[in-house]
A = this chain, B = another copy of it.
């Protein structure tokens, strides 16, 4: 159960040393979860992709749910770090532009287009895994709240028209982001997504 040093520098000098790198294994697990979603990713698939056996997985990561949450942490740290940097853009329009285009790049990056891990897991989890759902929902809410704050700042800067509501505009933008995930998950072409993004940005409220 215990995973004393949290995934890195596990310099437990006592006992047989583990023969795999937890970070690398977690990265492999993330790929599986991202491709298949939480519930559809089976332990057999995970262990095979991670190159370890089930007891090793359980000893190091706890259980499937804990493994997923660690993978989700990694996902946010690596794949969603563009959200933080996008918020640093100078104008609200540029914030939206970066968010949308970086999302596109992330989800159409490597092979086939695939949606956001959060969207896939939140939508796909209804049966058990209510905890997973709640976790994803909370993370998403915090992202949206950050966008709201950024747009409030933009409005104070005179960067957005007085008539727009930062909360609603952020909700609208997040809606588009999540819609892009669904389209990507449905196998949409990159040009299709790019068209939706460009059109939305053209519609963006100007001062």
Contacts and interface: CB of A to CB of B under 8 A. Distances in A.
A187 B36 CA distance: 22
Interface string A132-175: 00001100100000000000000000000001110111011011
Contacts of A40: 39, 124-127
B195 A171 contact: yes
Give the number of copies in the complex: 2
Contacts of A185: 122-123
Given A165-B199, A168-B196, A175-B176, A182 B119 contact: yes
A159 to B, nearest CB: 16
B200 A123 contact: no
Given A36-B127, A123-B124, A195-B167, A178 B183 contact: yes
A205 interface: yes
B183 A168 contact: no
A35 interface: yes
Chain B CB count within 10 A is highest, among A193, A202, A204, for: A202
Interface of A: 35-37, 39-40, 42, 115, 119-120, 122-127, 136-137, 140, 163-165, 167-169, 171-172, 174-183, 185-187, 192-193, 195-200, 202-205
Given A122-B182, A122-B185, 17 more contacts: A39-B39, A40-B124, A40-B127, A120-B123, A123-B185, A124-B126, A164-B199, A165-B195, A165-B199, A167-B195, A171-B192, A171-B193, A172-B176, A175-B180, A175-B193, A200-B203, A203-B203
